[in-house]
Chains A and B, each alone.
Chain A
């Protein structure tokens, strides 16, 4: 079974703090993703990575950065946390090609999420 783990389930930080959210997958997946989930807004992509040291901006990258130094690990960094970054953060991973061998059909496997509260 694919396992995606996130370093914390709940996190409380103060405005202005630097926050690190860690995600680890154990299936040797090339692709990794960070989303935030807010009520009524669904899942919004922050950043994704399709290879070590590679990163691409998603729909809402402002205020965030990422790091992927190893294939299995993808970190989300809030350089200076703000109250509007209070949210549920979800990490996901997928292999390069889906079961049909086609790019774009890959199943994304999600971690349990980190609920971040910024005070």
Chain B
């Protein structure tokens, strides 16, 4: 049973365009939603994260939009650049605010983004 569904599996965007990756979750106990970025030959690295009491978080060209009622969150990359070409993973964890954190992240299956010049 996949708890975090990510789409699309792959994405091709022109340089300067907007890249949008979507994730949906089922477990309402999830309360922390990070995005990880992975370049070829490297391990994933935290890009940006959001908690469910805000609907949007922006860091530079990267924005997370969060819709608690729909149990969905998305990553928007504005002014996409060839250097953004990577695989992106959404993730979720629970217990961030109850003190009963499980330490675990549940990952989506990943989106391979290619930004073409």
List A residues at the B interface (Cβ < 8 Å).
4, 31, 33, 40-45, 48, 50, 58, 90, 92, 94, 98, 102-113
Evaluate contact between B95 and A43: CB separation under 8 angstroms: no
> Which B residue's beta carbon lies closest to that of A4?
B43
- Could you tell me the dominant secondary structure of chain B's interface residues? loop
List B residues at the A interface (Cβ < 8 Å).
6, 9, 31-32, 34, 41-46, 49, 51, 89, 93-97, 99-105, 107-110
| Smallest beta-carbon distance B22→chain A, Å | 15
Evaluate contact between B43 and A103: CB separation under 8 angstroms: no
**Contacts between chains A and B (CB distance < 8 A), count:** 72
Residues in B whose Cβ lies below 8 Å from that of A110? 43-45
The distance in angstroms between the C-alpha atoms of A98 and B105, with both chains bound, is 13
Most buried by B among A4, A45, A108, A110: A108
| Smallest beta-carbon distance B23→chain A, Å | 11
Residues in B whose Cβ lies below 8 Å from that of A106? 101, 103
